[in-house]
Every structure is written in structure tokens, then in C-alpha cells.
Structure 1
Amino acid sequence: MPGRSTSPATPAATPAGDTVGDVVRWAAFSCALVPVVLVMYGTSFGGAAAAALGLAAVTAVCRVLLRRSERAAAEAIAAARKREHAKVPGARRGGRHAGRSAPEE
């Protein structure tokens, strides 16, 4: 159909598996685009290269921090699930503890 987009309409429609990768890809695109725009507007090649290197460094640090945050969140979710499972009565104790059921004679 004409005018129909192939990209998802909402962020919820995209798979949530690699959001960090998406951010890093956009940052890399910016690292390439900004120096081109700077040169087009009259900045020296050296200044544009310095800007590109600075953006690349910031992107690398952000990528490391985002991955670390992603791992910490996954570990927190796993720990919460483990605690939730431990709260289920009898889940790790083997069922009921039998007491005296009949009087001794």
C-alpha cells in the first residue's frame, strides 16, 4: 500500500531484547553524522575529528554503563523470583511435617 510504513508504530511493538543495542547504534550514527555536519558548516577537519573522538568515547562509556545496568536488573529479577519461590509453603521442605497422629497405647 502506498504511504504505509514498514517500521513499528509504537515502541511497544519492537522486541525488548536489545534496547541497549538500539541506543548504541543511534549513537554510532550520530558519531558519524556530527563531524560531517560540522565540516559542512565550516569547522576544520581537526575540530570535526576531535568532536567525533569525543562522541565515540562518550558512546563507549554509555554502552558499558547500559550493559552493566542491564545485567544488574536481570540479576535483581532472578533474585526476586528466587525469594518468591522460597516463600511458597512447603516448596523446599518436602511437604508437611508429620506430628503425632494417633494416641499411643
Structure 2
Amino acid sequence: MSGRPSTAPRPPSGTPAAQDTVSDVVRWAAFSCVLVPVVLVGYGTSLAGAAGTALGLAAVTGACRVLLRRSERGAVRLRAEERTPHHVRHEKVGAGARRGGRHAGGGGPVD
């Protein structure tokens, strides 16, 4: 190692390489949901205890997967906003978009 920072380009998150990384993390977590109970039984833990551990790990793995996917969607949305010009992001459209100024009709006193 020469101490210099790597000049190899890094893929931005949201690219296929980043998505593969997330899939790898989820696969390893699922593997641990099987491996840990087997090891626990091998070391003398009851089957019920190992099964409870497996269910707990599966629940945590599922929750982490959901959070990772939500984070990916948020990152994609953020990148899309960053690519949109500033004046377009804050432009109001639709009914009530323009307020103030003169309005024709209906603005006078009511008898």
C-alpha cells in the first residue's frame, strides 16, 4: 500500500453495484439466521432456544431489509432533486399557485 488514495472510480449508490452490496448484506444476514441456531444447538442450547434465536434474527433481518430499501428509494429521490434546477423545484403549480395582486371580479365589498 503506497498511502495514496485510490483513484479507481466508485459507483454511486443506486447503481447495480450498490444494489448488489445490499443484496449481499441481506444474504449474509439470512445465512446467519440459519448458522447461529445450528452453532447454538452444537454447543448445547435447547432446540426451543435456538429456534427463538432464529426467529429473532429473522425479524431483525427483515426489518433491516425494509429500512435499506427505504433508504435506497430516498437516495434515488434526493439525487433526482439534486439534478433538477433550483427554480423548478420551488415552482408552484396548480390551483392557488399565484397569490396576491389584482383579481378580476368578486373582490369588492358585498352589500
- Normalising TM by the smaller chain, what interval? 0.5 to 0.7
Cα deviations by residue, 1:17-53 (Å, 9 ceiling, x for unpaired)? 3222111001000000000000000000000000000
1:64 aligned partner: 66
Given candidates 39, 62, 79, the residue that maps to 1:37 is 39
Give 1:55 deviation, angstroms. Answer: 0.2
Q: State the structure with bigger RCO (CA 8 A, min sep 6), 1 or 2.
A: 2
Give 1:84 deviation, angstroms. Answer: 6.5
Answer yes or no: is 1:28 the counterpart of 2:41. Answer: no
Q: Which runs of 5+ in 1 are unaligned?
A: 1-11, 87-105
Give 1:82 deviation, angstroms. Answer: 1.1
| 1:42 alignment partner, SS class | coil
Q: Which range moved further: 31-40 or 19-28?
A: 19-28
Q: Structure 1 or 2: larger helix share?
A: 1
Count, aligned residues: 75
Q: For residues 43 and 55 of structure 1, do their structure 2 counterparts lie closer, same or farther at Cα, with a shift above 3 Å needed?
A: same
Q: Which runs of 5+ in 2 are unaligned?
A: 1-9, 89-111
Answer yes or no: is 1:79 the counterpart of 2:81. Answer: yes
